[in-house]
C-alpha cells in the first residue's frame, strides 16, 4: 500500500519501567540451567512493571513524551494496541486521552491482535490522516505481558510502551511513511481466552508456520511494491519474541547485523508484545540521521505481520532529544523472584 499523500511520524515517545529481573534469577527459581536459557533465548534480563503501572499508565508516559517533543494540537484519533488492556469493557484510549488533556473531539478505539496491535494502530492512524479526515492521530503500542510461572514465556514477557503522533504537514514530519503492507492468516500459535490469566502457546510451532512465514511474506510484499532492496535500508526492525527469531529471519531476508543493531532491544528488555517492535522503532529514531530508510515489520500471533517503510526527513533535527530509549534501558533497579511475583500479581492466581 503506497500513501498517495504525504503522511508520517511527527513526534514519538517511549516508556520502559525502571525495574528488571535477570533471566538467571528466574532460572534459579525453577532449577534450570541459566546459561542454557540465556543461550537459547538470548535474553539476559527483562523489564517489570511497578505495582502502580499498567498498559494505560505506560501509554500515558510514552504519549506525554511524544507531545512534549513538539507543540501539537488537533489530535483527532487515539488508537491503543495491547493484549493487556486493564478493562475488558472500558476504553484504555479514552482514559489516555483524558490523562493527556486532549480535547474531547476525537475518535478512539482499543485494538487487539497479539503483538501487532500497536502496528495496526499506526496503519489506522496513517489512513485517517492521509485521507484528510484529521490533521493528527495518536497511535500507541503498550503491554505488561503475561506469562505463567515456570513457563518458557516467563523469561521473555516484559513491559514497555511506545507512542507515535501521525501527521501530514511536510514541515512537521520527521519520518515519512512511504509504504505499508500486511500478511494475515488464521494460524493459532498463541492465544488466551476470556477469564484466563495466562496465554497458551504451541511451542516451536510458533516458528516456521507463524513468525517466519508472516514476516518474510510481509517484507517480500513491501519490497516488491516499493521496488526497494534490503540493502537500501539503514535500519531494520523486526518483532522480537526472543533474540534468536529476529536474527534468523534477518538471515533469511539478507539483513546484515549492523542494520538490526539500533532497534535490537530484546536481550536487555524482553518481549514487550504490542510495544516490542515499536519501542525498537523509537530507539532507531533517537539516533537516526536525515535520509535514513527504516524497514519495520511486526508480528502478532494468530497470525499477522505489518510492514512499513519510513524515510527520515530533515525535520528530525528539530525534535527534542529526551527520554531516549537507550537511557531508559540503562536506568534500572533489579528485583528478586519473590518481588517479581508480587509486582506481576501472580501470587494466589492459580
Please identify every residue annotated as catalytic. 83, 115, 239
* Cell 527483562 belongs to residue: 46
Q: Which pairing describes strands 159-167 and 293-297: parallel, antiparallel, or unpaired?
A: unpaired
List all residues 6 or more positions away from 320 whose beta carbon is below 8 Å from its beta carbon.
Answer: 68, 69, 70
* Cell 477469564 belongs to residue: 195
Whole-angstrom distance, CA of residue 36 vs CA of residue 27: 9
List all residues 6 or more positions away from 13 whose beta carbon is below 8 Å from its beta carbon.
Answer: 61, 62, 63, 64, 65, 66, 67, 68, 69, 162, 163, 282, 323
Whole-angstrom distance, CA of residue 219 vs CA of residue 214: 9
User: Closest Cα partner for 161 from 178, 146, 140, 147?
Assistant: 140
CA angle 261, 247, 299 (to 5 degrees): 95
Q: Cell numbers for 80, please give them.
A: 491503543
User: 33: how many CB neighbours lie within 10 A of its CB?
Assistant: 12
Print the SS3 string covering 116-169. Answer: CHHHHHHHHHHHHHHCCCCCEEEEEEEEECCCCCCCHHHHCECEEEEEEEEECC
Q: Let me know: does 181 contact 225? Beta carbons within 8 Å.
A: yes
**Strand ranges (DSSP E) for 147-244?**
159-167, 175-184, 190-191, 200-201, 235-238
Q: Cell numbers for 342, please give them.
A: 508480587
Q: How far is CA 120 from the centre of its chain?
A: 11
Amino acid at each position: 500500500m503506497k500513501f498517495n499523500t504525504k503522511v508520517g511520524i511527527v513526534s514519538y515517545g517511549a516508556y520502559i519501567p525502571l525495574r528488571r529481573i535477570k533471566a538467571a534469577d528466574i532460572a534459579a527459581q525453577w532449577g534450570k540451567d541459566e546459561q542454557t536459557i540465556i543461550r537459547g533465548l538470548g535474553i539476559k534480563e527483562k523489564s517489570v512493571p511497578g505495582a502502580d503501572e499498567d498498559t494505560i499508565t505506560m501509554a500515558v508516559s510514552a504519549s506525554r513524551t511524544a507531545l512534549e517533543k513538539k507543540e501539537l494540537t488537533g489530535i483527532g484519533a487515539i488508537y491503543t494496541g495491547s493484549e493487556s488492556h486493564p478493562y475488558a469493557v472500558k476504553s484504555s484510549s479514552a482514559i489516555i486521552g483524558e490523562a493527556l488533556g486532549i480535547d474531547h473531539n476525537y475518535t478512539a478505539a482499543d485494538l487487539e491482535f497479539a503483538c501487532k496491535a500497536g502496528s495496526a494502530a499506526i496503519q489506522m492512524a496513517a489512513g485517517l490522516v492521509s485521507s484528510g479526515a484529521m490533521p493528527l492521530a495518536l497511535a500507541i503500542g503498550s503491554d505488561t505481558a503475561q506469562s505463567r510461572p515456570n513457563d518458557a514465556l516467563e523469561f521473555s514477557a516484559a513491559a514497555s510502551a511506545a507512542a507515535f503522533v501521525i501527521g501530514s504537514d511536510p514541515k512537521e514530519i520527521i519520518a515519512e511513511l512511504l509504504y505499508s503492507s500486511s500478511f494475515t492468516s488464521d494460524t493459532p500459535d498463541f492465544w488466551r481466552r476470556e477469564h484466563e490469566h495466562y496465554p497458551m502457546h504451541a511451542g516451536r510451532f510458533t516458528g516456521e508456520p507463524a513468525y517466519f512465514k508472516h514476516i518474510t511474506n510481509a517484507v517480500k510484499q513491501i519490497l516488491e511494491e516499493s521496488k526497494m532492496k534490503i540493502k537500501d535500508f539503514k535500519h531494520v526492525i523486526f518483532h522480537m519474541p526472543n533474540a534468536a527469531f529476529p536474527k534468523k529471519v534477518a538471515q533469511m531476508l539478507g539483513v546484515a547485523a549492523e542494520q538490526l543493531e539500533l532497534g535490537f532491544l530484546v536481550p536487555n528488555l524482553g518481549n514487550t508484545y504490542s510495544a516490542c517492535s515499536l519501542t525498537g522503532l523509537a530507539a532507531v529514531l533517537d539516533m537516526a540521521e536525515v535520509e535514513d530508510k527504516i524497514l519495520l515489520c511486526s508480528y502478532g500471533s494468530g497470525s499477522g505481520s505489518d510492514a512499513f517503510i519510513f524515510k527520515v526527513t530533515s525535520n528530525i533535527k528539530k525534535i527534542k532529544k529526551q527520554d531516549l530509549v537507550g537511557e531508559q534501558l540503562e536506568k534500572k533497579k533489579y528485583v528478586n523472584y519473590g518481588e517479581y511475583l508480587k509486582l506481576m500479581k501472580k501470587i494466589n492466581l492459580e
